[in-house]
Amino acid sequence: MNIHQSMQMAVKFANGRNFAEAEKILRGILATNNQFHPAIHMLGQLAFQSGREDIAAKLFHQAATIDPNNAGYHRDFAETLFFMGHYKDTLMAINRSIQINQNDPKAHFIAGNGLMHMGENEQAIKAFKHTIKMDPNHSFAHNNLGSVYEKEDKLKEAKNHYELAMKVDQSNVLAINNLATLLTAEGDLDKAKKLLNQIIKTKPDYIEAHHNLSALKRYKEGDEHIAILLSLLESVEQIPLDNKYRLYFILGKVHADLKDYDKAFEFYELGNNLKRSTFEYYEDRFIENVEKIKAIYSKENIGKEKVTKSNKPVPIFVVGMPRSGSTLVEQILASHSEIFGAGELTILSEYVNEIIQNYPEDLEKLSDQELQKIGGKYLDKISAFDPNAKYIVDKNPGNFLYAGLIKKILPEALIINTNRNAMDCCVSNYTHLFLDTIHYTNDLGELGRYFNIYSDLMAHWRSVLPNEMLYDISYEDVVDNLEQEAKSLIEFTGLDWEESCLEFHKKKSNVKTASAAQVRKPIYKSSVERWRVYEEHLGPLISALKDKE
């Protein structure tokens, strides 16, 4: 059997999923000719299929080094780098592939993925469009193009491409799920539920669909969805880690709705412990940084910047703890005709990290001009959302860490802090699985201590910031007397009152938050004192919060 016949035999075994035999033949080929790049490349493919990306990357790179004009080798090397999270290297490798062969839609698709993850949205859009031009039935290119458009707040275009992805491939659960999430944000909950149920019917192990559906419904005994979830629990050890803790959180929600709170907490604890095991949280470093922030922005150092009028919208920062009512406050504000709600933005922290290498230590090294550059860039960016708005709301709770900096770089800005009962707020964080990891939310002790740090820093800001800049609003007060609190809130902005602010749940807009489904309903009081049903399980949280007293 010659070398080419051996390759054909290896391909036959691989197609029959007998990977061990295929690998044995390939290694036999390389024992006689270690430069035979087709065998090296195929070994890389086998490694990639078995999840050994690091080995696959080395083999693809080796094949491409031996045959540098083979576009497929560079493309597969780039794809592996992408799955390893090396996006800059992905782009270098895929650009080489495209230079050799410009007519490969998969190469342009990989380029789009790399660009998307690098935040190069405009270039990513071009790459995905080029992919679709060459292959109109590329369902995943339509889906990913929709994702980039959604990031760019071009929701009509996003929805169109999600629907095209589904039309091309009805089994593309990513596109169906993305469309359901977008519809949820827009308030079309019935259609979102229908799509999520469609996914679950065709792919019952797609945990993300279960998770998204669980947020849109209240479970009752006999619900068919519960039986499906329990069947997944039977094989939980075979489920990938991220889906395992997601399933635990869903079952926590199920049992909470059924008022079996002990069982609910058991699942929430399982989910939180598993999630907490996936990352490091440097609590001492965070505490140290907050103390430095207080020292830098003391009463003596806070600054006397003059508020100057500009032709750009004024930022309103809604800050606080997650799950403290910030979405509700944003929606009240955004229901006013002169206020645009931009959602949970990361722009400020991104610019701070870009310009200030080490926050907060390096703050004092920057000149006033360098600090103003951050403010100017921020205003330019948010103005694009709605240049005609008088105010634009940035609802990122974590911006409470930057209140002193905001005073320095955006002296005309307003800051609204949303307060909520400490126990209710912390339990709401603990029983909610966030899309992005929030490091302090998965351990009751860490959560309580973080709440204390937040409370202390807010007390500091109240002592150093002018009253006309910082406003506190209580979630419980809003729930108890919506009209009075909403009027006081609008009065703080200096705008005239509008009755539409009381009907925020009817506003047709995109709500980019974990609470998207909740703000589509009128005010409800069921979240007040919710923590008490779990009281006997909350010892570490209660102790941590008492340490502040």
Pairing of strands 470-474, 391-394: unpaired
353 pLDDT band, cuts 50/70/90, is confident
What's the rounded Cα separation, in Å, for the pair 208 and 247?
9
Mean pLDDT of 27-55: 92
341 pLDDT more than 60:
yes
- Output the average pLDDT for the chain: 92
For the ranges 87-101, 198-212, 493-507, the lowest mean pLDDT is seen at 493-507
| Token pair recorded at residue 138 | 């590329």
CA pair distance 148, 157, nearest whole angstrom = 10
- Up-side HSE of residue 296: CA atoms within 13 Å toward CB? 22
pLDDT at residue number 476: 95
**Is 60 exceeded by the pLDDT of residue 521?**
no
pLDDT one-digit tens code per residue, 292-340: 999 999 988 776 665 556 788 999 999 999 999 999 999 999 999 999 9
Span 22-34, mean pLDDT? Answer: 90
Q: Which amino acid does the sequence have at 475?
A: Y
For the chain, the maximum distance between any two Cα atoms, rounded to a whole number of angstroms, is 87
Delimit the domains of the chain by residue range: 136-217, 310-546
Distances (CA, A) of 507 to 250, 341, 484, 519: 29, 11, 20, 10
Band of the pLDDT at 518, cuts 50, 70, 90?
Answer: low
State which H helix or E strand residue 434 sits in. none
pLDDT above 60 for 532: yes
Listed in sequence order, the DSSP H helices in 187-260 are: 189-202, 207-214, 224-234, 241-257
**pLDDT for the residue numbered 25:** 87
Pairing of strands 314-320, 470-474: unpaired
Q: How big is the chain by its Cα radius of gyration, in Å?
A: 27
Per-residue pLDDT reduced to its tens digit, 462-488: 999 999 999 999 999 999 999 999 999
**Mean pLDDT of all residues in 87-103:** 96
- Per-residue pLDDT reduced to its tens digit, 259-293: 999 999 999 999 999 999 999 999 999 999 999 99
User: Can you spell out the DSSP letters for 497-541?
Assistant: P-GGGG-GGG--S---STTTTGGGS----TTTTGGGGGGGG-HHH
How many DSSP H helices and E strands does the chain contain? 26, 5
370: pLDDT confidence band, cut at 50, 70 and 90? confident
Q: In the prediction, which pLDDT does 309 show?
A: 62
What lies within 8 Å, CB to CB, of 543 at 6+ separation is: 445, 448
Give 418-443 pLDDT, tens digit per residue: 999 999 999 999 999 998 899 999 99
**pLDDT for residue 520:** 46
Q: For 11, how many CA atoms within 13 A lie in the half-sphere containing its CB?
A: 9
Contact 352, 374 (CB under 8 A): yes
Domain spanning 136-217 has what CATH number?
Answer: 1.25.40.10
Residue that the structure tokens 């290694």 belong to: 27
φ/ψ (deg, to 5) at 315: -75, 140
Taking phi over 0 as left and psi of -120 to 50 as alpha, with beta for the rest, 303 belongs to left
Q: Helix crossing, 173-186 with 207-214: angle to 10°?
A: 10
Instruction: Using the predicted structure, report yes or no on whether residue 33 has a pLDDT greater than 80.
Output: yes
pLDDT tens digit sequence for 8-17: 888 888 888 8
pLDDT exceeds cutoff 80 at 1: no
- Looking at the predicted structure, is the pLDDT value of residue 203 above 50? yes
Q: How confident is the model at residue 373 (pLDDT cuts 50, 70, 90)?
A: confident
Q: Class for domain 310-546, per CATH?
A: alpha beta
Peptide bond into 360 cis (omega under 30): yes
